[in-house]
Structure 1
């Protein structure tokens, strides 16, 4: 076989592999992306570029390996293609696992703010089994929860020390309780306070759609590299929406 013909066959096989792989990955990743990263939380976490990079790295890996190792005249050609497919599947699962770790799993209200908590930042006691962690991290949409400091003075001091050191109860899923509307109302701020941190026309634009319901708000604390936002509440403490306004 001539070099030119082999080159054409390699190019053809690579294009086919890339197109097929792109379709499979899109079918798997896109639904999971919209399920795990609803707007505007995807923007809050600055996750979009990361998802695109995972997609293209997987495709580029498959395309490059196919072009290098595809050769129909070699007896082990099918085996090579199967090995490449295996590495592709492994790379895809690694990418999905990473997405699971950085997805917004919980919105946790703690006193004067709501924390956007990712599985990668959670803290579990050593005696918690892997099953509980998997259930918490992989399944379900974003959950709205509440955490409160203990009434016990000794436990309260311990929790306070943990918060100061950056491992507070807002990152401990076993401390989460059902969202407490009345507790949120104690710390919620009037909409007018948003004018301290945002231009009036931007506040009007973002809040207008929810003006009939939104009466109060709480800051949304994102990840270290993320964008903090604002959680709008009604007069009963229920969450109305998350909007891209500055909370401080």
Structure 2
């Protein structure tokens, strides 16, 4: 059997590799910046990393005693608990991942995996029935005449939680053009230098709309002439 410190280093190395891979999946694929901040997944993922990178290897180091009869059993239990805790944490993160960024009229909404019901997905067009594992997609709501305004479920969960209401963003270009705000209004809720720095990276943007999110509302930069989303950015919408 390998020595105590070699085992601990190996255990830590594997945990670190898993942590980096998980961070890439979460913050690059599932919650592309700045949606992780808007939804508030960072704290949950940090707790996950503490369990995976610190507590697991530390417990292994503490209980590792060469010659101990129950050593293999004890290490197996620690690793299994670590795997179970990690799996549950990643499952929770996956349940909250954003599937859609939905344009309604005056703003965009973030729609998470946990908000959708399988029965509602079956009623949607084929293009909107899949729960993506590769980041959120941009869509829009159909015209208001499509909504079931008197439905209690619609009032409780919101129209954007029903994929049967979705359509392509390009089909709502005139609506987006009508309600999008001029870029100059971003200076009312943000430092002008910060606004200028961000806008310099997205010169195609000619307007913006608010993004409603669970933890922090943000801004969606758009090109209203083309009816396109340019980027979700970490700026405050109008107060």
Q: What interval of TM-score do these two structures reach, taking the shorter chain for normalisation? A: 0.7 to 0.9
Which segments of 5 or more consecutive residues in structure 1 lack a partner in the other structure?
A: 1-8, 130-134
Residues 106 and 116 of structure 1 are in contact (CA less than 8 Å); yes or no, is this contact kept in structure 2?
Answer: yes
Give the 3 Å change call, closer, same or farther, for CA 125–30 of structure 1 in structure 2.
closer
Residues 105 and 117 of structure 1 are in contact (CA less than 8 Å); yes or no, is this contact kept in structure 2?
Answer: yes
Aligned length: 227
Matches for 1:1-248 after TM superposition, within 5 Å = 10=4, 13-26=7-20, 28-33=21-26, 34-120=28-114, 122-124=115-117, 136-137=130-131, 139-148=133-142, 151=145, 155-158=148-151, 162-163=154-155, 165=156, 167-179=157-169, 180-182=171-173, 183-211=175-203, 213-223=204-214, 226-234=215-223, 235-248=225-238
CA distance in 1, matches of 2:109, 2:161: 9
Q: Secondary structure at the match of 1:195?
A: helix
Greater alpha carbon shift after TM alignment, 28-37 vs 61-70? 61-70
Residues 190 and 216 of structure 1 are in contact (CA less than 8 Å); yes or no, is this contact kept in structure 2?
Answer: yes
Give the 3 Å change call, closer, same or farther, for CA 201–36 of structure 1 in structure 2.
same
Residues 149 and 156 of structure 1 are in contact (CA less than 8 Å); yes or no, is this contact kept in structure 2?
Answer: no
Residues 181 and 236 of structure 1 are in contact (CA less than 8 Å); yes or no, is this contact kept in structure 2?
Answer: no
Q: Give per-residue Cα distances to partners, 1:182-225, cap 9 Å, x unaligned.
A: 242232222233233334433323223323x21121111111xx
CA distance in 2, matches of 1:136, 1:99: 18
Which segments of 5 or more consecutive residues in structure 2 lack a partner in the other structure?
A: 123-128
- Specify the structure having the higher radius of gyration (Cα): 1
CA distance in 2, matches of 1:11, 1:201: 51
Give the 3 Å change call, closer, same or farther, for CA 53–116 of structure 1 in structure 2.
same
Residues 124 and 174 of structure 1 are in contact (CA less than 8 Å); yes or no, is this contact kept in structure 2?
Answer: no
CA distance in 1, matches of 2:37, 2:56: 29
Q: Secondary structure at the match of 2:77?
A: helix
Offset, 1:78: 2.0
Q: Would you identify which runs of 4 or more consecutive aligned residues in structure 1 move more than 4 Å?
A: 9-12, 125-129, 135-138
CA distance in 2, matches of 1:198, 1:87: 45
TM superposition score normalised by structure 2 = 0.79
CA distance in 2, matches of 1:75, 1:30: 37
Greater alpha carbon shift after TM alignment, 199-208 vs 140-149? 199-208
Offset, 1:97: 0.9
TM superposition score normalised by structure 1 = 0.77
CA distance in 1, matches of 2:118, 2:212: 24
CA distance in 1, matches of 2:88, 2:32: 21
